[in-house]
Amino acid sequence: MGRPNVGKSTLLNAILGEKIAITTSKPQTTRNTIRGIYTDMDKDDGLQMVFIDTPGIHKPRNKLGEFMTDAAIGTFREVDAIIFIVDSPIDKGPGDRYILDLLRDIDTPKILVINKIDQMQPDEFEGIYKTYDEMDMFEAVFGTSALEGTHVQELIDCVSGYMEEGPMYFPEDQVTEDPVRFIASEIIREKILLYMEDEIPHGVAVEIEEFSEEDRLTRISACIYCERKTHKGMIIGKGGRKLKGIGKSAREELEALLGTKVFLQTWVKVKENWRDSDIALSNFGYRQQ
Tally of CB atoms within 10 A around 147: 16
Report the relative pairing of strands 110-114 and 217-226 from DSSP bridges: unpaired
Report the relative pairing of strands 261-270 and 217-226 from DSSP bridges: parallel
DSSP 152: H
Single out the residue of 220, 227, 205, 286 nearest to residue 252, CA to CA: 220
Q: For domain 180-283, give the CATH superfamily.
A: K homology (KH) domain (3.30.300.20)
Q: What is the CATH number of domain 8-160?
A: 3.40.50.300
Is pLDDT larger for residue 54 or for residue 148?
Answer: 148
- Assign 125 a pLDDT band (cuts: 50, 70, 90): very high
Give dist(CA 226, CA 220) in Å, integer: 19
- Assign 106 a pLDDT band (cuts: 50, 70, 90): confident
pLDDT for 76-98, tens place per residue? 778 899 999 999 998 776 788 88
For residues 110 and 139, is the Cβ–Cβ distance under 8 A? yes
Amino acid 160: pLDDT? 94
Give dist(CA 172, CA 31) in Å, integer: 27
- Assign 219 a pLDDT band (cuts: 50, 70, 90): very high
Instruction: Name the amino acid, one letter, at 171.
Output: P
Report the relative pairing of strands 217-226 and 205-213 from DSSP bridges: antiparallel
For residues 176 and 35, is the Cβ–Cβ distance under 8 A? yes
Q: What is the mean pLDDT of residues 226-235?
A: 90
Contacts of 33 (CB under 8 A, 6+ apart): 52, 53, 54, 55, 71, 72, 75
Delimit the domains of the chain by residue range: 8-160, 180-283
- Assign 134 a pLDDT band (cuts: 50, 70, 90): very high
Contacts of 89 (CB under 8 A, 6+ apart): 124, 127, 128, 131
φ and ψ at residue 172, rounded to 5 degrees: -65, -20
pLDDT for 26-85, tens place per residue? 655 555 678 899 999 987 778 999 998 877 665 656 666 666 567 666 777 788 999 999
The model carries a pTM of: 0.73
Is pLDDT larger for residue 197 or for residue 261?
Answer: 261
Give dist(CA 287, CA 281) in Å, integer: 6
Amino acid 289: pLDDT? 37
- Mean pLDDT score of the chain, rounded to an integer? 86
- Assign 288 a pLDDT band (cuts: 50, 70, 90): very low
Amino acid 239: pLDDT? 93
